[in-house]
Amino acid sequence: MSDKTSIGIEIERKYIIKMPDLATLTSQNSYTASDILQIYLPAQQGETRRIRRRSYPDKTIFIETKKIRLDNMSSTEIERELGEEEFSTLAQTILAETRPIEKTRHTFIYLGQTFEIDVYPDWKCTAIMETELPSRETEVKMPKFLEIIREVTGNKAYSNASMSKSFPKEETQSN
């Protein structure tokens, strides 16, 4: 564990996509996969607070994140590294009426943009894809090998905080 804390503005777009082909994903530039356990904790009014265990093949990291939503596309994000013991202690203070979120995250770079695809065990046909952008005006260069079902940027039902309370029914049709 270190004493690293970072503060930044996160601007992202979010989409429901058809479950991608794993072989195609693993062949992408800078591909990595990690298993994530995310737990939401009590927070101050207007703030979301979570802890995350992110396991890669060669290491596991623990992070606490506080988010303050600015609008439907951006938030202030404060992150702090945790040790495993502190993570375990904080996990016991899970926010009432929530459950831990488990997912596998596939990350890759396509035409200079980083994409993250979260695959949830509750869904068999679809996944959620996010991309962080340097500005609100940045055009998303959609990977041609993915099928977008619909954009859900700003739709609270698809925030992990909401999904920890009530997991949305899987969508399989384009709107």
Contact 99, 18 (CB under 8 A): no
Q: Is 53 among the domain residues?
A: yes
Q: Is 168 among the domain residues?
A: no
Q: How far apart are CA 101 and CA 76, in angstroms?
A: 22
CA–CA–CA angle 138, 144, 147 (5° rounding): 100
Q: Is 171 among the domain residues?
A: no
Whole-model pTM: value is 0.90
* The pLDDT of residue 23: 95
- Centre a 10 Å sphere on the Cβ of residue 35 and count the other Cβ atoms it contains: 14
Where in the sequence is the domain holding 138, given as residue range(s)? 5-163
Give pLDDT tens digits for 97-156: 999 999 999 999 999 999 999 999 989 999 999 999 988 899 999 999 999 999 999 999
Residue 1 pLDDT class (50, 70, 90 cuts): very low
Q: How far apart are CA 173 and CA 17, in angstroms?
A: 10
Phi first, then psi: give them for residue 84, nearest 5 degrees. Answer: -60, -40
Q: Where are the beta strands (DSSP E) in the chain?
A: 5-18, 29-41, 48-55, 60-69, 74-82, 101-110, 113-119, 126-132, 148-151
From the CA atom positions of the chain, what is the Rg in Å? 16
Q: How far apart are CA 175 and CA 32, in angstroms?
A: 30
Q: How many domains in the chain?
A: 1
Q: Is 27 among the domain residues?
A: yes
CA distances from 36 to 53, 64, 108 (A): 6, 13, 16
* The pLDDT of residue 173: 63
| CATH code, domain with 108 | 2.40.320.10
Q: Is 173 among the domain residues?
A: no
Residue 159 has pLDDT above 80, yes or no: yes
Residue 74 has pLDDT above 90, yes or no: no
